[in-house]
Amino acid sequence: MTAFLSSGELKRLPAGVRIPAYDRAALQTGIVHFGPGAFHRVHQANYIDDVLHSDPRWGICAVALHSTGVRDALAPQDGLYTTAILDTDCSYRIIGALREVLVAPKDPAAVIARMIAPETRMVSATVTEKGYCLGVGGVLDFEHPEIRHDLQAPHAPSTLVGYLVEALRLQCEAGGKPFMVVSCDNMIDNGERLRRAVVQFARHFDRALADWIEAEVAFPRTMVDSITPATDDALRERVTQALGVTDRWPVQRENFLQWVIEQHDRCDLSALQAVGVTLTDDVAAYDRAKLRLLNGAHSSLAYLGSLSGFETVSQAMASRELAGFVRRLMTEDILPNVTAPRGLDLRQYIETILKRFRNPEIRHPLAQIAWDGSQKLPFRLFGTIADSMAVGRPIDRLCVPIAAWMHFVRTRAEHATRVVDPLAEQLFDIGVACRNSAASDVPRFLALSSVFPDELRNSRHFVIALNRSYDRLGMATDVRMVLR
């Protein structure tokens, strides 16, 4: 039986494994991070691990809002864990940036104490979009059960927003300098959305505090990117074989890593910039490029690849027809609607994305990317379609992945399977009623006003193009033949 990963095992690891080359005992806690899931541990913690080699003030206190899983796995390992970087040449790195993991419901006072400590310069978050408790229009949902709880007991919070407001209240009362708040969740305008939610919550019971937060606290926007498949038994075994020790919860990612943060006059992020973080005054342009080029292509592969019988992105990209379709979609249909941010060559960015998609070491399930299509497609593809129509560009190819999503829903319903989606029940009912005919089926989907904006639903040009794509896919014995 192999030993478990721990500080005492570091020097016995194989020479090719990268280990922390700094004194972990000398680290300070400079970041309190909510949501220590896989993405944070392969992404932000990776950057911070680089920073710690020259500046020990950036150690991380990770906070889980609900689960004890990460704490229970990593505490016996002294907070250490393995990141497997999967590419042509795979490598392994031990991350030492996590100084501790707190579980908020178990010790809320300790969480608040860490947040308001003088050495804490940043509170960051990867809690997924639902962790922000936002409602229609992206504003705070005051009817959300957890928000209602926090409003009734603001000094004993349970949500990210509640913890932020309580900690900032204490800092305001003490006259201290507030920490910066950095959302790292994959949402457009993430910093502004979180700022608005925090201010709305504070104003509900303390207008002066809300005004102080608006005036003094920085909520920079960010964009983050790295493909991060979920940890599975195959990864655990792979890590054990490579390291000679057992890691209770290793994580994995591709080689590509990107973190873009909005420049702010109240944020000194020079230490992050020194290790590869991009500071810019135009995060929106990076967001738009990623959302439309990478995420739009990802969703297209998810539905077309699934209908073609493939299971993963790399398998789908091995198909000449699918790979060629995605390249044409990106270069001919999406690229003309994207403005390049300063310093980013969009054509090279496309080539990088296609290379990432082809990476055979990353087993990224198409089914996982296909989740929540009703929420993703409006942001990933509908905007490009609307922009193309506005200037008279063709939209036929752009409609193919939308039609593929509809067929994906229909075929799952034929097998009595609900898709993973907030509208799962509605989509299942629509799928059951479908007849594999655009005239019958497409209007059922277009009736979803929460998905399809009036601009598209009322466009004869869009409906005709969508119907054409739907019927072509429906009649094809092999979806790939339609993509040539």
Confidence of residue 100 (pLDDT cuts 50, 70, 90): very high
- Residue 95 to residue 168: CA distance in whole angstroms: 30
* pLDDT tens by residue, 239-278: 999 999 999 999 999 999 999 999 988 888 999 999 999 9
| pLDDT beyond 70 at 418 | yes
The answer for residues whose C-beta is within 8 angstroms of residue 379's C-beta and 6 or more apart is 188, 291, 295
Distance of CA 434 to CAs 401, 422, 430, 445, Å? 18, 20, 6, 10
Report the b/e string of 267-301 with b at 16+ CB within 10 A. Answer: bebebbeebebbbbebbbbbbbbbbbbbbbbbbbb
Question: Please, is 465 exposed, middle or buried when counting C-beta atoms within 10 Å of its C-beta (0-12, 13-18, 19+)?
Answer: buried
Three-state DSSP class for residue 269: coil
Q: Is 428 left (phi over 0), alpha (psi -120 to 50) or beta?
A: alpha
* pLDDT tens-digit map of 142-175: 999 999 999 999 999 999 999 999 999 999 999 9
- CATH 1.10.1040.10 maps onto the chain at 284-482
DSSP state string for 320-389: HHHHHHHHHIIIIIIGGG-PPPTT--HHHHHHHHHHHHH-TT---BHHHHHTTHHHHHIIIIIHHHHHHH
**At the top level of CATH, which class does the domain 7-281 belong to?**
alpha beta
Residue 229, pLDDT score = 87
Q: Tokens for 438?
A: 């655009």
pTM: 0.89
pLDDT value of position 267:
81
Alpha helices in 28-159 (DSSP H): 38-42, 44-51, 69-74, 108-116, 145-152
Beta bridge partners of 122: 31, 180
pLDDT given at position 89: 87
Say how many residues make up the chain: 484
Between 112 and 484, name the one with better pLDDT: 112
Model confidence over 224-248: pLDDT tens digits?
A: 999 998 899 999 999 999 999 999 9
Does residue 484 carry a pLDDT above 80?
no
Question: Please, are residues 420 and 371 in contact by the beta-carbon 8 Å criterion?
Answer: yes
Residue type (1 letter), 422 = P
Mean pLDDT in residue range 180-191: 94
pLDDT of residue 1 exceeding 70, the answer is no
**Which pLDDT tens digit goes with each residue over 353-398?**
999 999 999 888 999 999 999 989 998 999 999 999 999 999 999 9
pLDDT at 429: 98
Task: Return the CATH number of the domain spanning residue range 284-482.
Answer: 1.10.1040.10
Classify residue 348 by burial, with Cβ atoms within 10 Å: 0-12, 13-18, 19+.
exposed
- From-to residues of CATH 3.40.50.720 in the chain: 7-281
Q: In this structure, what DSSP letter does residue 89 have?
A: S
| Res. 318: pLDDT tops 70 | yes
Q: What is the rounded average pLDDT for all residues in the chain? A: 95
